């Protein structure tokens, strides 16, 4: 069976890209189709892969301003000619699932989430736009993309959701079933638990819905040490908010991130995640997590065993949770064991079984 992989964008490295890496391990001969790539911002592994970009890659300034080309992006994925493949495995939180396949092919979508800025984050996304002309035009563009997204969602043969949280969204927005296979944590990257330091840690893309601003506010008020690793268009705003106990380190290598995981007192997750791999990476290091109690964190953090939740998206709520956290003790080995159930071997076996079953169903004669 000839397999092709399709991924939205390869211009930043996060949880979705770690999932794609697992797919690349499983299918080393499969090309990776993507709308745009900026491989200078990606790990070396991607520079050695067979990456096939869409025509958007050749549009001037597309690497930086691709989000201003939203009306082009549906056409970009539909332009991929995938007729030579038997199975297409898309990794999508936006456009990748919109590829065109024929009845003899199998399209399996590993869905990180339905497109959030046309569905559940639509009003929040518009509120973050300050250019008055763009703000007035954007609703019409997003309306068309929402309609396109629904229509193309029906062309997928099988959905895999990365969490129960996302499975509910797939049912809500697309009225389709999905099987949940949680993303993998690269457990082997991390060693035995080490002595904790005094700082708290965030590893994240720096974008507004991650709610890093409320964490900075809480740590400014408590004068506690906080280390933030990651980059994104919200970095300059967050840098201005940061007080003397808050460090923004920008992009760091996996090796450096592992060192910070190993030395932190606890990991902070403030946004509502679709799933969230970074909290599991912290737990793989035996470190507890303080998380906003909605979304994927409810599936990855065991309250009282591997972390605690705060219930409101506010600095006040986080401060109360931090005070509660300081009254508790955690067993690093038990936390690490909890994370182990999300290991890469489990993930690859479940994906392989899913694909095998899909192929068998396709081969069965229809009465």
For residue 193, how many C-alpha atoms fall within 13 Å in the half-sphere facing its CB? 21
Q: Are residues 219 and 246 in the same domain?
A: yes
Q: What is the CATH number of the domain that holds 96?
A: 3.40.50
Q: Are residues 172 and 50 in the same domain?
A: yes
User: Could you list the residue range(s) of the whole structural domain that residue 215 is in?
Assistant: 187-340
**How many structural domains is the chain composed of?**
2
CA distance 67 to 133: 16
CA distance 194 to 289: 16
Q: Tokens 């493949």 map to which residue?
A: 85
Task: Judge whether 11 and 5 are in contact, CB under 8 Å.
Answer: no
pTM: 0.86
Q: What is the pLDDT along the chain (367 residues), one digit of tens a residue?
A: 899 999 999 988 888 999 999 999 999 999 999 999 999 888 888 999 999 999 999 988 887 777 778 889 999 999 999 999 999 999 999 999 999 999 999 999 999 999 988 998 888 888 888 888 888 889 999 999 999 999 999 999 999 999 999 999 999 999 999 999 999 988 777 766 667 789 999 999 898 889 999 999 999 999 999 999 998 889 999 999 999 999 999 988 888 998 999 999 999 999 998 898 899 999 999 999 999 999 999 999 999 999 999 999 999 999 999 999 999 999 999 999 999 999 999 999 999 999 999 999 887 765 4
Count of other CB atoms within 10 angstroms of residue 364: 7
Q: Minimal CA–CA distance to 13: which of 31, 36, 52, 39?
A: 39
Q: Are residues 114 and 10 in the same domain?
A: yes
Q: Are residues 75 and 166 in the same domain?
A: yes
Q: Tokens 């495995």 map to which residue?
A: 89
Task: Judge whether 221 and 246 are in contact, CB under 8 Å.
Answer: no
């Amino acid at each position: 069976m000839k397999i092709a992989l399709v991924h939205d964008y390869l211009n930043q490295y996060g949880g979705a890209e770690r999932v794609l890496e697992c797919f690349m391990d499983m299918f080393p001969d499969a090309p990776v189709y993507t709308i745009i790539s900026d491989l200078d911002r990606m790990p070396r592994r991607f520079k050695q892969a067979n990456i096939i970009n869409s025509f958007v890659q050749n549009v001037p300034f597309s690497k930086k301003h691709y989000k201003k080309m939203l009306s082009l992006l549906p056409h970009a994925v539909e332009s991929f000619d995938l007729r030579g493949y038997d199975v297409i495995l898309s990794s999508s939180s936006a456009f990748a699932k919109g590829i065109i396949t024929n009845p003899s092919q199998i399209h399996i979508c590993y869905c990180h989430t339905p497109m959030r800025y046309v569905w559940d984050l639509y009003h929040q996304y518009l509120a973050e736009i300050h250019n008055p002309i763009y703000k007035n035009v954007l609703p019409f563009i997003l309306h068309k993309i929402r309609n396109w997204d629904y229509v193309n969602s029906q062309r997928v043969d099988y959905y895999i959701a990365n969490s129960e949280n996302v499975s509910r969204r797939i049912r809500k927005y697309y009225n389709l079933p999905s099987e949940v296979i949680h993303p993998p944590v690269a457990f082997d990257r991390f060693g035995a638990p080490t002595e904790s330091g005094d700082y708290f840690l965030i590893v994240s893309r720096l974008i507004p819905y991650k709610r890093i601003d409320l964490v900075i506010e809480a740590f400014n008020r408590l004068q506690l040490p906080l280390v933030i690793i990651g980059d994104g268009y919200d970095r300059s705003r967050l840098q201005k908010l940061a007080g003397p106990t808050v460090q923004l380190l920008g992009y760091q290598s996996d090796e450096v991130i592992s060192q910070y995981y190993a030395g932190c007192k606890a990991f902070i997750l403030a946004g509502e995640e679709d799933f969230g791999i970074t909290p599991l990476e912290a737990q793989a290091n035996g470190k507890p997590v303080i998380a906003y109690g909605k979304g994927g964190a409810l599936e990855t953090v065991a309250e009282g065993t591997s972390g605690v939740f705060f219930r409101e998206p506010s600095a006040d709520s986080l401060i109360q949770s931090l005070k509660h956290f300081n009254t508790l003790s955690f067993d690093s080995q038990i936390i690490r064991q909890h994370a182990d159930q999300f290991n890469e071997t489990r993930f690859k076996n479940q994906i392989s079984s899913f694909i095998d079953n899909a192929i068998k169903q396709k081969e069965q004669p229809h009465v």
